[in-house]
Amino acid sequence: MENLSEINNLFKEIWTSTKAYNVENTDGTIYKLNNPVTYIPPQIKEIKSYENGPIIIISAPGAVGKTTLAKHMSHVKKGYYWDLSKHTLGDNSFIGTLAQTFGYSNLPKVLESLKKSEITLFIDAFDEAYIRSGLDGIRSFIQDIYSVIDKSTRPNVVLFSRSETAEFLQLELMDLPNSEKKYCVYEIDYFNQSGANQFIKYWLRNKGDETYDTHSATFNVALNAIFTSISAGMNVGFDMWNTEDTRSFIGYAPVLETIGSYLLKSDYNKIYNEFQDAKTMEKGIEVISSFINQLLIREQGKVINPLISSNKDKHEDWNIIENLFDPIEQIKIVQKYVLNHGKIEINVENLPIWLQDEYVQAINNFLPDHPFLKGKLYSSPAFRDYSLSILISDPATEDISKKLLDQGNFAITPLFIFFYQIRNENHVKGSHIGYLYDSAISRIGAEESMIMTFIKERSNSNNIYDIEILNPDSHSSNNFHFECLLDKDNPLVFNNRLSNANIEAKCNIFLGSTRGGIELNDVEIYVDGINFLGNNCLFNCFNEDSSIILRANNETEPPSFKVEKKGHGATMVYWPGSEMYPWSQFHSKDLEESQNDETGEKFYALKRILSPFRKHRKKGFAKQAEFIDNEIVGSSELRKRVLAHLKTKGIIRLQSATNKYIIDEQDMAKIGISWVDMTKSSYTSIVKTFLNEI
Q: Name the nearest CA neighbour of 61 among 599, 439, 445, 631.
A: 445
Q: Beta strands 464-470 and 480-485: pairing type? A: antiparallel
Element (H, E) at 122: strand 121-124
Consecutive 10-residue averages of pLDDT for the chain (694 residues) = 58 86 88 89 84 86 83 95 87 93 96 95 89 83 94 90 85 82 87 92 94 95 86 63 74 85 89 67 65 84 90 92 96 94 92 95 88 85 91 95 83 86 92 94 67 89 92 72 92 92 94 88 94 93 79 94 90 94 92 74 90 60 83 90 95 91 88 85 89 93
Q: Beta strands 652-655 and 80-83: pairing type? A: unpaired
Contact 643, 609 (CB under 8 A): yes
Measured between its terminal Cα atoms, the distance across the chain in Å is 54
Calpha distance 112→107 (Å, rounded): 9
Residue 550 — φ and ψ, nearest 5°?
Answer: -125, 125
Calpha distance 145→163 (Å, rounded): 20
Calpha distance 575→508 (Å, rounded): 13
Calpha distance 481→197 (Å, rounded): 33
pTM score of the predicted model: 0.75
Q: Name the nearest CA neighbour of 471 among 453, 446, 491.
A: 453
Note if the bond before 582 is cis, omega within 30 degrees.
Answer: yes
Contact 82, 184 (CB under 8 A): no
- Domain locations in the chain? 2-188, 193-373, 377-591, 602-692
Our measurement of the distance from residue 62's CA atom to the centroid of its chain's CA atoms, rounded to an integer in Å, reads: 5
Residue 467 — φ and ψ, nearest 5°?
Answer: -110, 120
Q: Which CATH number fits domain 2-188: 3.40.50, 3.30.1580, 3.30.70, 3.30.450?
A: 3.40.50
Q: Name the nearest CA neighbour of 191 among 206, 181, 176, 202.
A: 202
Contact 285, 233 (CB under 8 A): yes
Contact 433, 484 (CB under 8 A): yes
How confident is the model at residue 445, as a pLDDT? 63
Contact 147, 176 (CB under 8 A): no
DSSP code, position 481: E
Tens of pLDDT, residue by residue over 542-589, are 776 678 999 999 999 999 999 999 888 889 999 999 999 999 999 998
Calpha distance 423→393 (Å, rounded): 9
Calpha distance 96→94 (Å, rounded): 6
580 Cβ contact list (under 8 Å, min separation 6): none
Element (H, E) at 205: helix 193-206
The identity of residue 292, as a single letter, is: I
Calpha distance 386→291 (Å, rounded): 11
Q: Name the nearest CA neighbour of 128 among 187, 88, 168, 74.
A: 88
How confident is the model at residue 4, as a pLDDT? 47
Cα angle: 570, vertex 605, 543; to 5 degrees: 25
Q: Beta strands 660-663 and 652-655: pairing type? A: antiparallel
3-class DSSP state of 406: helix
Q: How many residues does the chain have?
A: 694
How confident is the model at residue 459, as a pLDDT? 83
> What does the H/E/C string look like for 626-684?
HHHHHHHHCCCHHHHHHHHHHHHCCCEEEECCCCEEEECHHHHHHHCCCCHHHHCCCCC
The DSSP code sequence of 301-356 is HHHHHHHHHHHTTT-TTGGGGGGTT-HHHHHHHHHHHHHTTS------TTS-HHHH
Q: Beta strands 377-378 and 464-470: pairing type? A: unpaired
Q: Cite the beta strand spans of 557-591 per DSSP E.
A: 562-567, 570-574
Contact 546, 616 (CB under 8 A): yes
Calpha distance 485→402 (Å, rounded): 19
DSSP code, position 15: P
Contact 455, 467 (CB under 8 A): yes
* Residue spans of alpha helices (H) in 340-482: 353-366, 381-391, 398-406, 415-424, 433-441
Instruction: Report in angstroms the alpha-carbon separations of 193 from 252, 421, 517.
Output: 11, 28, 40
How confident is the model at residue 531, as a pLDDT? 97
3-class DSSP state of 60: strand
3-class DSSP state of 391: helix
